[in-house]
Structure 1
Amino acid sequence: MKKQSLLLIGLFFMIFQCIIAQGSPDYTGGLKVKLNEDGSKYFRIISWAQFWAQHNSDRPSDANGNEQSELNFSIRRARVLMYAQINKDFLILTHFGLNSLNADNMSPVGTGDNSQLFFHDVWAQYSLSDNHAIGGGLHYWNGISRLNNQSTLNMMTLDNQRQAWATIGLSDQFARHIGVYVKGKFKKLQYRIAVNDAVTNNLQTSAVPVNDGAAIYSGRRLLGSKDAGKTYAGYLDYHFLDEESNFLPYKVGTYLGGKKVFNIGAGFFLHPNGSVVADGNGELSGEDVSIFAIDAFYDAPLGEGGAAITAYLLSQFNNYGEDFTLGSTYETGSLIHAHLGYVFASESKTKFQPYVQFDNRQIDAIDNQATSFGIGANAYFSGHNSKLTLEYFNTKYGDNDATGTVTLQAMIYL
């Protein structure tokens, strides 16, 4: 374990030195094509990829009892996003790609049962005024928290806090719902509110409630779309310092000192009859799913030379139904998450940012908690357009032994 972990650490610094030596061009990202002289009609294309080398000494044996490799490779994300405006009032966005492609879910010719490429977003929007808009489709205008609206282009930590993406695969398709939304701002208060359809076939599509047992998240499938088909979500945040853009739904993870931002936000997600329980006679009834959160985000330069700080705090309260759990990812209970990063001052365009993160989850079903701790560092060669991330992440769930993972990520964003 130590040898392979040291290999990843050594590889991180070797690549770091090589890229410093080769340099990296300044690049703002994306290809923007003007369709008229003043640029009011255009389309823009963005592409990014994240490659992971990951060491985990606690991987369980496979179904045949064979031991599994401790060092594994994967494509964490490979995406293409395009949006276009034919005039200032209309916007259309399309976003497709794949996630977590590895040797276990690849197929011989790329057409197996495991979906690879799929649409993440397909939505259209109409501007009601300069500050307000309405839209619909498969969209990412989510509620709950900043992290539930996180962009995967500019995260500070290796990946997003998983429980903050609180409805993935339960009521939506990979954090996206089909529905309608309104978004906008009143001076420094920004908002997004959505009414959506819940998915029928979710992660518990084959689950059946046990008499007097825990809830399962299958309301639409078992109770019908009339009683359990709609979800409601919203998020509001007040911008005390610099205002962030809400042109697109994706929240920035760290500005590396490019802005001075301090926001406080609050959000919700409601799914009436989203979960189902069975009484002692096997009769089914619905339980409302409700998730609420408050959070705060601070990102600012510190003095001269490019030093900067990023800090985030989230408190989230999850009610998926009586004693609900699904794996070690979703639970009725509460979550506190915090992360802190610091960019060292540098005269070079290459920036180095160590960070720490911490999670504490209170879980009703096991009357216990889960804790996580992560420490890592980003090396930015051209901002988020070219970076390396090395992270150690340790999780302890209930009475289970703690597990630790070391991950090296290389990311390119064009």
Structure 2
Amino acid sequence: MKKINLLLFSVFLLSFQICFSQGSPDYNGGFKVKFNEDGSKYLRVISWGQFQATYNDDVPDTESSTSFNVRRARVLLLSQINKKFLLVTHFGLNSLNASNLSPVGKSDSNHLFLHSIWGQWNLNDNHTVGGGLHYWNGISRLNNQSTLNLMTLDNNRQSWSTLGLSDQFGRHIGVFMKGKFNKFKYQVAINDASTNGLDLRDPELGGAAVYGGKRVLGSKDAGHSFAGYFEYNFLDQESNTLPYKVGTYLGTKKVFNIGAGFFSHPSGSVSANTSGDLVAEDVSIIAVDAFYDAPLGEDGSAITAYATYQSNDYGKNYLYSAYGTGSMLYTHVGYVIAGDTKKTRFQPYVSYGSNSYDAVDDNRNVFGLGTNMFMSGHNSKLTLEYKNQKFGSNTTGTVTLQAMIYL
């Protein structure tokens, strides 16, 4: 049966190569409605879809090893009628599959939800303030990653370090300020922490911390979180008009950045001592990282490299899903093979992450090996990736093919 599924997976790969081999027309900025002649007043619409087929070698005997998934379906709107302010609206859904489909499309999984809605006001050419449900996160580049131009199949899961714990899918409600001083860029935010996070556990006597400080203790002491990310751009300057960090430029820029960031949620976690008294514990995450992307010559070849070290403190012996008190080391490297930049291009890559947790002796080690096939840059591409994850006695291997169109 597994051989049959592998054959079907191969046929699926071939069919996508045939269907999308022609690529899409030149992007030219996408769909933009201009309200004046010079285009300074506009509404820009960006949409993208990511469609996956996955082979998993660790499923029950009664389950199929091959599954299909709409990984992301999103729409992003940028609205500007004056150079002094900008409105960003982002909605969509994630990970729609056979297990969470609804017969009549009414389940939570089928609903489009608001990822972001924020306004930002330019104080001058270099500094901006704003507020709303926003994505101006702290910690690291990967915690501010765009899903439009990832180099790997997906973001390193442990780098979205507060997703669902203190925010709504990586976005907080709050206020932010961002800007630059020459080559130095910054972004800082003060946010309301979510009351209804993923971690709904109650503290146990003498047990580990749970991320439920605001829910259990109230909002007076545990209501707010603070975040920031700071980077220095040594070579070409990256845009910071929007928070979305580019995964790979495919050699169109020469970028070398170093960065550092933090996330702090006072009393964000709570534990219970042996007497039954509740003890508030501060959540503190800090990271340093480096990003390099550059062409390697005139032949179209290019390299992308990234590395980060992150220290996570969610409270005493905290461990929940992908999150845990401890440390993380993550890196990835990709190489764009030389060729005509106007034709199909390939980018093999490798990634590795190691996560240690105070609560257990075992590390979570994740290895990825894949390749991107760009038919029209990031606007039309295929990604094929093998991922192996080992944590304790559990080892899982998956092969995933993803087709993406972004307009």
Per-residue deviation, residues 255-274 of structure 1 (Å, max 9, x unmatched): 00010000000000000000
How far apart, CA to CA, are the structure 2 residues paired with 1:366 and 1:376? 30
The offset of 1:119, in angstroms, is 0.4
State whether residues 29 and 46 of structure 1, in contact with CA within 8 Å, keep that contact through their aligned partners in structure 2. Answer: no
Cα distance, 1:119–1:49 mapped onto 2, change above 3 Å: same
* 1:126 is aligned to 2:121: yes
- Give the corresponding residue for 2:359: 365
- Name which of structure 1's ranges 88-97 and 8-17 shifts more when overlaid on structure 2: 8-17
What does the per-residue CA deviation read over 1:376-409, in whole Å, with 9 as the maximum and x for residues that have no partner? 0000011000000000000001x22311000000
For residue 172 of structure 1, give the secondary structure of its aligned residue in structure 2. Answer: coil
Match of 2:350 in 1: 356
Amino acid of the structure 2 residue aligned with 1:161: N
Rounded Cα–Cα distance in structure 2 between residues aligned with 1:87 and 1:166: 35
Contact 1:237/1:264 (8 A) holds in 2: yes
User: Which of residues 262, 282, 287 in structure 1 aligns to 2:281?
Assistant: 287
- Give 2:190's aligned amino acid: V
Q: Is the 8 A contact 2:96 2:109 kept in 1?
A: no
Question: Which whole-Å deviations, capped at 9, do the CAs of 1:35-55 have from their partners, x for residues lacking one?
Answer: 112212111000000001011
**Cα distance, 1:70 vs structure 2:** 0.9
Work out whether 1:393 is the aligned partner of 2:394.
no
2:329 to 336, 358, 367: 336
Q: CA–CA distance in 2 between the matches of 1:41 and 1:88?
A: 8
Matches within 5 A, 1:12-411: 12-16=13-17, 19-20=20-21, 22-60=22-60, 67-114=62-109, 116-205=111-200, 207-327=201-321, 329-347=322-340, 348-397=342-391, 399-411=392-404
TM-score (norm 1): 0.95
Q: Hey, what's the Cα distance between the residues in 2 that align with 1:113 and 1:259?
A: 41
CA contact 2:93–2:109 (8 Å) conserved in 1: no
- Once the two structures are TM-superposed, the CA of residue 5 in structure 1 deviates from its matched residue by 3.8
1:139 touches 1:179 (CA, 8 Å); kept in 2? yes
**Is the CA contact 1:29–1:413 (under 8 Å) kept in the aligned structure 2?**
no
Deviates further, 106-115 or 75-84: 106-115
Given residue 52 of structure 2, which amino acid in structure 1 is its aligned partner? Answer: W
Structure 1 CA distance for aligned equivalents of residues 324 and 60 of structure 2 = 22
Q: What's the CA shift for 1:115?
A: 5.7
Q: Distance in 1 between matches of 2:355 and 2:3?
A: 29
Tell me the distance in 1 between the aligned counterparts of 2:24 and 2:360: 50
Range moving further from structure 2, 162-171 or 32-41:
32-41
Cα 1:217–1:60, aligned 2, differ >3 Å: closer, same or farther? farther
1:349 deviates by: 2.2
> Cα deviations across residues 344-393 of structure 1 (Å, max 9, x unaligned)?
11124211000000011111101221111000000001100000000000
Report if aligned partners of 2:128, 2:179 keep a CA contact under 8 Å in 1. Answer: yes
Alignment RMSD, CA only?
1.4
- Assess if the C-alpha contact under 8 Å between 1:99 and 1:116 holds in 2: no
1:246 and 1:225 map into 2 onto residues whose CA distance is 32
Q: Indicate conservation of the 8 Å contact 1:378/1:390, yes or no.
A: yes
What amino acid is the match of 2:169?
Answer: F
Count of aligned pairs: 405
Q: Distance in 1 between matches of 2:240 and 2:119?
A: 15
CA distance in 2, matches of 1:376, 1:11: 17
Distance in 2, Cα, partners of 1:173 & 1:355: 30
SS state of the match for residue 394, structure 2? Answer: coil
The structure-2 alpha-carbon separation of the partners of 1:113 and 1:121, relative to structure 1 and needing over 3 Å to count, comes to closer
| Partner Cα distance (1:36, 1:10) in 2 | 49
Q: CA, structure 1 residues 115+272, in 2 after alignment: closer, same or farther (shift >3 Å)? A: farther
Note the C-alpha offset of 1:2.
5.0
Distance 1:215 1:335 in 2: 19
Offset, 1:304: 1.5
Q: Percent identity?
A: 62
Secondary structure of the 1:231 match is strand
Structure 2 vs 1, CA of residues 23 and 231 (structure 1 numbering), >3 Å: closer, same or farther?
closer
Distance 2:141 2:288 in 1: 9
* Residue 95 (structure 1) shift: 0.3
